[in-house]
Amino acid sequence: MHPFSHSSMRYHAAVLLSASLLAVGCGGTVSRAADSSPESGLTASSAANPSPESGLTGSGSVSANASAESGTPVAVHGALSVRGTDLIDGSGNPFQLKGISTHGLAWFPQYVSEDAFRTLRDGWGANAVRLAMYTGEYGGYLSGGDRTALENLIDQGVQAAEHLGMYVIIDWHILSDGNPNQHTGEAADFFRRMSARYANRPNVLYEICNEPNGGTTWAEIKQYADQIIPVIRENSPEAVIICGTPTWSQDVDQPAGNPLNRPENVLYALHFYAATHKDGIRDKLVRARAAGTPVIVSEFSICDASGNGGIDYESAEAWKRLLKENNISYFSWNLSNKAETSALLAPGCQKTADWEDSDLTETGKWVRSLMLGQ
């Protein structure tokens, strides 16, 4: 049974309720009843089950799965696209993704679930999640990891997001493998299959190279992106694609001088760690937008760039103001209980959903307040 009539109110009410109650585990109770439908298999693609109830217009590719909740972020906002420097929703209004990034899928698979994502949606105000699949680190997709298991985790994450009406980024998380051209063939193969599997899903975004580094130039990233973007476009012509930028996705001011061959519906990644990246990187964001480049913060935290160390609240507040002023989408690193400052969950926390205040780190509390607009 689907509570189509009042579920939009339910979603918003849940966010407000949890804002006032400081999200003391209320996420699960508010909407769990709506999720009784069985998991649909990969082949039961949403395109086959257009949902007449969603009543969305102006976003041709919206096709909610029959088992998805309505009144959710995706049901309300539909397929996203890029216009000028803005991300816009299916009705043409500016839209801000507010999301949480997983840690490495291979390392913390326990948080890739509908219960975890529902807690983020209803308790934290998140409308999106990012699935970080390392390529070069231990257990990564290109470094001995179990590719089938990793793709199954991605599928689990995409299905969970779809049922909850949340947006989801599939992130090819290069890091130690600093130049994406090292593995263009594998990336093309991966994105060909992902974009075919999730063709026409209004909620799926593709991030094609997390953080180029080690001296990789924008010209080299462009060379890679100009090969990968057409592969995705063949299956998912309208999907929003996120492209990394040089120096661990800090040099977002560079694409303007040397545009991609097919820049439609592409966002450029700027990643920051507030204790390391300050005015210099904030200036890059401002300059990039002034030059017409649409920016997304597809990863950030408020500690230093190691993912650890102290929190810089002053710099974090400056970033918060800048994101708000410019309506920039953001994703907080990381959903895990690893003993590091950027982890959102306390090291001792064993719960995989329905977190309470005492389960969160200082970063977790700050990020939740940010998302709840406090």
Name the DSSP letter for residue 362. H
CA 355 to chain centre: 20
For residue 198, the cross-strand partners are: none
The minimum distance between CB 107 and ligand IDC, in angstroms, equals 8
Q: Are 132 and 102 in contact (CB under 8 A)?
A: yes
Residue in the structure block whose two tokens are 């309470």: 356
What is the H or E stretch that residue 193 is in?
Answer: helix 184-197
Catalytic residue (one of 114, 162, 211, 340): 211
From 69, 162, 207, 299, the catalytic residue? 299
Identity at 81, one-letter amino acid code: S
CB of 43 to ligand IDC, least distance (A): 33
Nearest Cα to 209, choosing from 255, 249, 237? 249
Closer CB to ligand IDC, residue 79 or residue 225? 225
Q: Considering the complex, what minimum distance in angstroms separates the CB of residue 364 from ligand IDC?
A: 14
CA contacts within 13 A on the Cβ side of 38: 4
Distance CA(249)–CA(221), nearest Å, equals 11
Alpha-carbon distances, residue 242 vs 82, 232, 249, 367 (angstroms): 11, 12, 11, 22
116: left (phi over 0), alpha (psi -120 to 50) or beta: alpha
- Give the nearer residue to ligand IDC in terms of CB position, either 88 or 305: 305
Q: Where are the beta strands (DSSP E) in 4-47?
A: none
Nearer to ligand IDC, 96 or 341 (CB): 341
Backbone φ and ψ of 345, nearest 5° = -105, 145
Minimal distance, residue 282 CB to ligand IDC, in Å: 16
Query: Toward ligand IDC, which CB reaches closer, 333 or 355?
Result: 333
Verify whether residue 299 is a known catalytic residue. Answer: yes
What does the DSSP 8-state code read for residue 46? G
Q: What is the spatial distance between Cα 82 and Cα 92, in angstroms, rounded to a whole number?
A: 10
Shortest Å distance, C-beta 101 to ligand IDC = 9
Token pair belonging to 1: 């049974």
Question: Could you say which DSSP state residue 49 is in?
Answer: S
Measured from the CB atom, is 240 or 270 closer to ligand IDC?
A: 270
Distance CA 169, CA 167 (A): 7
User: Taking a C-beta distance cutoff of 8 angstroms, is the pair 252, 286 a contact?
Assistant: no
Specify the residue, 4 or 107, whose C-beta has the smaller distance to ligand IDC.
Answer: 107
Closest distance between ligand IDC and the C-beta of residue 116, in Å?
Answer: 18
- In angstroms, rounded to a whole number, what is the distance separating the alpha carbons of residues 13 and 10? 5
Contact set with ligand IDC (CB under 6 A): 137, 175, 210-211, 248, 271, 273, 299, 305-307, 333-334, 338, 340, 342
- The minimum distance between CB 171 and ligand IDC, in angstroms, equals 9
Q: How far is the CB of 65 from ligand IDC (least distance, A)?
A: 30
Rank residues 68 and 344 by Cβ distance to ligand IDC and give the closer one: 344
Nearer Cβ to ligand IDC, position 16 or 339?
A: 339
Q: Are strands 204-207 and 330-335 parallel, antiparallel or unpaired?
A: unpaired
Give the catalytic positions in this structure.
Answer: 211, 299
